[in-house]
Structure 1
């Protein structure tokens, strides 16, 4: 009996430690989600809505898991079998949602290039007629030190009667000296790395959370036999 109690206490303290680590990880997830949302919002005209929704989902799941982990703390400390199994069950449901998010993020990562090509073509066409499109494209060219979609030649193709926007120019020497690279490549790297971060980060978190669920189930099973 003494040995059984000692083993149970070891499992209990292990789960408490894992649950605490879960809380820390979920807080980090919320912060990362908020930062990514702000970054995506800066370039909202160039990305599809589901990219922004992915950050909303990341934040929402993080908040739910923080409260769920606190519930798990109480269940483990009081050694309540029903609460522990309820905690493991609810945790499992949320982990399934995170697996869906990770799968969606990997899918989104694979279509970053085609999405940017499609959206950039729309924005550059409306550059001189839509103020929001103009501000967004200028901001991208300034922040990425780029010009056009594939190169500055795109401006001549889309607007042959217009001069290059000032945001295209890296310097002026008897006229505008445009950035040689287009904006598609740096934007693709920028967006792709952020989406990949969501996909891989969520996958790593899920693996850790599965360990938390398994240990909680083991403790619940042990308690039910005491």
Structure 2
């Protein structure tokens, strides 16, 4: 069986698209893993939905390699069945990327509300949990912030004797016990909620942008695979 010139052109375009398709899979996998790692590090300040979306990107990125196999093999063998399978799976990936992109956009608007609630909840556990203490200290050092909205929130907590040392920059050459107070010149005056919200919003925006952009690109693959499958079927019918 030989395909006509136009279908052959579509077949070669399918090869080129599948190569690009594999690259998009690597991009999705990489971005998903990076953002999942970032969110996991600060999972105490986010809810589970923030971890589920980068996990979805990782899953989609992994599945893309399998789908690309059907596309390449189907084009080489001019197999109507494999091309249809490729087109169907590509449509499913398209839908998942739309879902991921939309969820990323929705999360972007919820970051501040969720972060503030979680921060207030975990601040009171600072002295009772080494894990919470570690996460808060890292957050306050990394973002050079203190408390949810300001440093004074630490002073009103009943189970704390003062402001955590992570709220202040340790002076160079300091020896012995040092303390961090409202009057300390190295106190971080910025609240952590605003700094962290901007950080998380930036990553949520990346998820939305990558998901929706790649979903638009998948439409090209759906069109090419549909056209090639129809051309192969027509060739069989005219034999």
Counterpart residue number, 2:138: 139
Shift of 1:182: 0.9
Q: Distance in 2 between matches of 1:136 and 1:160?
A: 18
Shift of 1:175: 5.4
- Name the TM-score, length of structure 2 as normaliser: 0.88
Q: Distance in 2 between matches of 1:97 and 1:201?
A: 12
Structure with greater helix percent:
1
Kindly indicate whether the alpha-carbon contact (under 8 Å) linking 2:25 and 2:61 is maintained by their aligned counterparts in 1: yes
Matches within 5 A, 1:109-120: 109-120=108-119
1:178-218, CA deviations, whole angstroms, 9 ceiling, x for partnerless residues? 11111111100111111111111100000001111111101
Shift of 1:110: 1.0
- Name the TM-score, length of structure 1 as normaliser: 0.93
Runs of 4 or more consecutive aligned structure 1 residues displaced over 3 Å after TM superposition:
171-176
Q: Distance in 2 between matches of 1:124 and 1:161?
A: 10
Counterpart residue number, 2:195: 186
1:15-41, CA deviations, whole angstroms, 9 ceiling, x for partnerless residues? 111111010111111111111111111
Matches within 5 A, 1:76-91: 76-91=75-90
C-alpha RMSD over aligned residues: 1.8
Q: Distance in 2 between matches of 1:80 and 1:24?
A: 24
Structure 1 residue runs without a partner (length 5+): none
Counterpart residue number, 2:223: 214
Q: Distance in 1 between matches of 2:129 and 2:103?
A: 32
Aligned residues: 224
